[in-house]
Homo-oligomer: A and B are copies of this chain.
């Protein structure tokens, strides 16, 4: 089938090929570890000399994401390019895509790095999101508040993650203060969604269009940052099926190759509610996702390996899991507890090699397997 994501690659990349990764954080690091297991080399491109992914990369480039010469050299040195975060400059991704296959393609980046574009894209696919309106100035904000009601959330269109770039407008709040709080940047106003819980699906699509999904995770956020993901999520089978269908539609719509994370609100289905349980998309991430880290220990093939398989043109690996799981992030000072966690036989510890911890910084995570299949002897989680 035709590929919309750059140059054509004929057949799977053989072992020994080099994967180029834009971004040197923990996601790039864990992608590099997964690639190494398959005999693939990684070339990490990051502007940060102390990037966690550099420690496990065969080749490193330290350069700005907008450095055309460095990007061209990078394109020549690798067999395929992927990225570990969605705020890569689209012009840079397009420049790379003229020289080497970029997966997922520049379109996935363009769509997902702008909340207005993303929500419009989803709406056009018939996928429900929170109600939203573009807001470029105070006048537009006032109109949007009239239309969507209060409370509502004002979010910058671009560069928001982990709760950054957004502010809640309370029933009595002053719209001008909210606009100032996000720096007066182009924004969207989102109406509040009454949800019972937050869940996500990690889906993956291969070059040949094959799609697979991991079981959905139930996510708890604290201060806008993911705190824990629990699998399975407490949702009806039909709701899980809806999540898989939505993920498939999105990937099809983007002619996507690689792992995609979709975060949902679960709405309806509560006592006294007229509507049955259903999913409303919160946001999409065109990359491996924090809420899929549990797959490292509960599945034969993790989200990281499946992303590498997909972008290398390999067949997908199974997404089944052999245990229930709870993933908990280690944020900021949490990682100081490493020696206790290292001695906890039930905790599967992952640390990212970051030298400095600060408030809100993701330093590592812990996976705990639960249920009768967690160990061979049964009953005792490992």
The docked-state distance in angstroms from the alpha carbon of A32 to that of B57 is 11
CB–CB B322/A342 < 8 A: no
A350 CB contact (under 8 Å) in B37, B297, B314, B369: B37
A58 CB contact (under 8 Å) in B41, B56, B335: B56
The docked-state distance in angstroms from the alpha carbon of A374 to that of B298 is 11
Stretch binding the partner chain, chosen from A12-20, A64-72, A98-106: A12-20
- Chain B positions within 8 Å of A350 at CB level: 37-38
The docked-state distance in angstroms from the alpha carbon of A314 to that of B342 is 7
- Chain B positions within 8 Å of A314 at CB level: 339, 342-343
- Chain B nearest CB: distance from A334 CB in Å? 12
Say yes or no: is A349 at the interface (Cβ < 8 Å to chain B). yes
CB–CB A373/B322 < 8 A: yes
- Chain B nearest CB: distance from A345 CB in Å? 5
- Chain B positions within 8 Å of A320 at CB level: 375-377, 380, 382
The docked-state distance in angstroms from the alpha carbon of A12 to that of B39 is 31
Q: Knowing A15-B353, A376-B373, say if A343 contacts B315 (CB, 8 Å).
A: yes
The docked-state distance in angstroms from the alpha carbon of A342 to that of B317 is 8
Q: Knowing A300-B369, A314-B342, say if A55 contacts B33 (CB, 8 Å).
A: no
A297 CB contact (under 8 Å) in B300, B321, B382: B300
Say yes or no: is A36 at the interface (Cβ < 8 Å to chain B). yes
Q: Which residues of A contact B (CB under 8 A)?
A: 12, 14-16, 29, 32-33, 36-42, 54-58, 297, 300-301, 309, 314-315, 317-318, 320-323, 335, 338-339, 342-343, 345, 348-355, 364, 369, 373-377, 380, 382
Instruction: Give A353's nearest chain B residue, CB to CB.
Output: B39
- Chain B positions within 8 Å of A54 at CB level: 58
CB–CB A36/B55 < 8 A: yes
The docked-state distance in angstroms from the alpha carbon of A374 to that of B323 is 10
Interface centre among A33, A54, A353 (most CB of B within 10 A): A353
Instruction: Give A42's nearest chain B residue, CB to CB.
Output: B55
